[in-house]
């Protein structure tokens, strides 16, 4: 047994150096494990970002008419945005299919008659002859 206050075991042998070496080795091991986990996390985040980008590009290519509405930083956000964009598209198409076009008058419209008061006598004569189809 070891007396933790004095660093000696029950036989009187000093164990402080051995314990310090074990602690230092354990710290080194934990530091290495932490570095490995951090590297794996960074790699996983990079893969996720690439996957999200690929998913965004695929959704936009599949639905070019609503591509500008599809955006997000995760797969869940992209799925929600795509569903919302498709709902908006469906609502617009439904409204467009039930809307009546504006009325168009039948027949040709008549041109406004010229202002005879502003015409010179020669212009009035030329206008009158054109109306009679003489020219």
Domain count, the chain: 1
Domain presence at residue 60: yes
Domain presence at residue 48: yes
Q: Please, what is the Cα angle at 25 between 23 and 26, to 5 degrees?
A: 65
Provide the residue range defining the domain that includes 83. 2-100
Tell me the pTM: 0.52
Residue by residue, pLDDT tens for the chain (135 residues) are: 455 555 555 555 555 568 999 999 999 999 999 999 999 999 999 999 999 999 999 999 999 999 999 999 999 999 999 999 999 999 888 888 887 777 777 777 777 888 989 999 898 888 888 887 765
d(CA 131, CA 116): 13
């Amino acid at each position: 047994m070891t007396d933790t206050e004095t660093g000696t075991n029950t036989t009187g042998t000093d164990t402080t150096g051995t314990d310090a070496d074990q602690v230092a080795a354990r710290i080194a091991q934990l530091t290495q494990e932490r570095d490995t986990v951090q590297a794996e996390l960074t790699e996983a985040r990079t893969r996720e970002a690439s996957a999200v980008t690929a998913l965004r590009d695929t959704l936009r290519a599949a639905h070019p008419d609503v591509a500008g509405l599809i955006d997000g930083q995760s797969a869940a956000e992209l799925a929600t945005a795509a569903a919302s964009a498709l709902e908006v598209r469906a609502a617009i198409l439904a409204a467009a299919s039930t809307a009546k076009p504006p009325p168009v008058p039948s027949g040709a419209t008549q041109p406004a008659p010229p202002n005879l008061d502003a015409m010179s006598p020669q212009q009035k004569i030329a206008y009158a002859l054109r109306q009679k189809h003489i020219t």
